[in-house]
Amino acid sequence: MWAGSATADLPTTITESCFSRRPGRSRRVPKRPRPLPAGCTGRHPVNPPMFAAKLNREHPQMNPSAARLLMASRSAGGKALALRASWAVLLAMLAIGFLTAAALSHAQGSGGLTWVKLLDRKPHVIAFSPGFATDRLVLLGNSNKDIEHGIWRSIDGGETWVKSSEGIPENKDVDVYEIVFSPAFAQDRTVFASINKQRIALREAPGAIFRSTDRGQTWHELQMSGFPLRGTRSMQDLVSFSLSPAFANDGVVFAVASATGVFRSTDRGVNWQQVLEENASEVAVAPSYAREHMVAVATANSGMLVSTDGGATWSPAHAGLEGMRNFKRVIFSADFARDRTMLAMNTGDGIFISRDAAGSWQNIARPPFGEQIIGMSATPSFVSDGFLAYAVKSGEVFLTENLGRTWQATGAPALLGGQIETVVLAPDYVASRTLYAVSVYQGLFRYYPVVAGSEEASKATAVAVAKAATAEALPTVMAREEARKAEELVETGCIAYYIPPVMLIGVLLLRGRKREQSPSRAGCGRKQP
């Protein structure tokens, strides 16, 4: 049954031919009834409620859009405009159909892979335990834009989550920038989190590192020194940090302080020394640091920089990256000592790989035209298994299973609702095929294989249908608003076929070619010039 929705959505305003019009001016719809212009009959060519009731009786299964088109085509004196409206509605229906088909196809999954929403939380960072294969421990940190910000914990691989922020001053509107597990986590149970506090006292530093020694359940703040001062506050807002693989023995930590540079601590994060003055985005310590003391930094203005003496000196690693700026990520292979492989991410130029310890670089991925890469992730064994992922600003997530020779889109924008903030491959991706992505607008999603007909598949389908319904509802809402405004004009006796703004592009394209040939509209105000 469609009559209720069709009549509710059907606007009744005066026809295009009954407007007083000036060259170069938009049409104006009067807010109050006025005397009928010459040429208007003073009666409705079609009575919408009666015609809707008739169609309801004769064609109970008719689509509402088709019914509105039929009413338009039956209206006297409106054939030309009805034709234009039909083209506009057809274009809108095709667009909606395409979106719906795409969403539903991803709901069923390409090769069984499906996006399923896990949380309304929007984390900045997702961190997996080094022993994730057995302990299934995951931590995530979200921003102060969420109602409940702080750190969340899962011990079942991300199926369920509990708040785990005891000791973190959430009343100070904290942002969680980074979470790093100790390389010896199985023995020392230690995790570090970099926090930014928005509400602070006069002399309080906005940035801080919190440490947990009970697997992320409770936290306490480290008292740090060595960072530069701005006024009375220490500038220790750490956006990235990386631990030495032998951290349990050497206590070495490297960190990037926002817009300040790179700092190093050799006593587990208490005292710090600046080792590089550069606007950097990320620092990474090589897995073979104990032997060669190699550290890499992604910078905004100087490309990729590398140190092989623990940060004492730095050299550019520009072969293959000449002239490029805005590097955001750097990743070492877990078996770097043997394969010498690294990845670097540039927002505009793409993803690059080096197989000679940053001696030279080759491009393996470029963003689509006009896009920017905002996130990259790799499995620990990406050199052998070939699994990488990256996300672009518009919201699409791309996957490769052959180290960048080919890439496949996952259809994320249709379901995740736009911009992606974080993308992370699960450490066991080789077996689980699980990818996590954070939508700025929708929350945390998981992309993984599901069985047709299962509860997970129904969740994915529900998300797809909801997205398609939202897209279809937009012009309907606009039409109802215009219909409400037009109720005052029913007394004028002339009906127009309202075209929602989202359809106007198609209408204007069709009108543009025939505008000069269109006849003058005598009897309805000024003639066309």
Secondary structure, 3-state, 394-409? CCCEEEECCCCCCCEE
Token match 């208007």: residue? 40
Tell me which residue of 423, 342, 438 sits closest to 375, measured CA to CA: 423
pLDDT along the chain (529 residues), means of 10: 42 39 48 49 51 58 52 47 48 48 41 79 91 95 80 93 90 89 96 88 83 96 88 83 95 92 96 95 97 96 96 96 95 97 96 98 94 94 96 92 94 81 93 91 86 54 37 35 48 43 53 52 44
Determine, yes or no, domain membership for 503.
Answer: yes
Site of tokens 């921003």: 143
443: phi > 0 → left, psi -120 to 50 → alpha, else beta; which? left
Is residue 20 in a domain? yes
Tell me which H or E stretch contains 295: strand 295-299
End-to-end CA distance of the chain: 46
3-state class (DSSP) for residue 436? strand
pLDDT at 197: 84
pLDDT at 8: 41
Could you tell me where the DSSP H helices lie in 255-349?
289-292, 336-339
Query: How confident is the model at residue 314, as a pLDDT?
Result: 98
pLDDT confidence of residue 25: 47
Q: Which of 180, 143, 145 is nearest to 269 (CA)?
A: 180
**Domain-located, residue 54:** yes
DSSP single-letter state for residue 134: H
Q: What is the pTM of this model?
A: 0.67
In a domain? residue 122: no
The predicted pLDDT at position 437 comes to: 93
**Dist CA 354 CA 339 (whole Å):** 10
Kindly report the CA angle at 85 between 80 and 90, in degrees rounded to 5? 130
Residues of the chain by 3-state class (helix, strand, coil), percent to 5:
30, 30, 45
Within a domain: residue 480?
Answer: yes
Q: Where are the beta strands (DSSP E) in 217-277?
A: 220-221, 229-230, 233-234, 238-243, 253-257, 261-265, 273-276
| Tokens read off for 171 | 């009343």
Does residue 285 sit in helix, strand or coil? strand
At residue 420, the pLDDT reads 86
Q: Tell me if 440 sits within 8 A of 422, measured CB to CB.
A: no
Interatomic CA distance for residues 513 and 411, integer angstroms: 37
How far is C-alpha 307 from the geometric centre of its chain's CA atoms? 34
Q: 183 lies in a domain?
A: no
DSSP 42-104: SS-SS-HHHHHHHHHHH-TT--HHHHHHHHHHHSTT-HHHHHHHHHHHHHHHHHHHHHHHHHH
Residue type for position 91 = L
What gap in Å lies between CA 496 and CA 522, rounded to an integer? 17
What does DSSP assign to residue 345? Answer: E
DSSP string spanning 461-514? HHHHHHHHHHHHHHHHHHHHHHHHHHGGGGGG---B----GGGHHHHHHHHHTT
In a domain, 402, yes or no: no
Domain residues for 491? 3-107+470-512
In a domain, 369, yes or no: no
What local confidence, expressed as pLDDT, does residue 291 receive?
94
Helix (H, G, I), strand (E, B) or coil at 188: helix
Count the domains in the chain: 1
Pick from 268, 361, 257: nearest CA to 306? 361
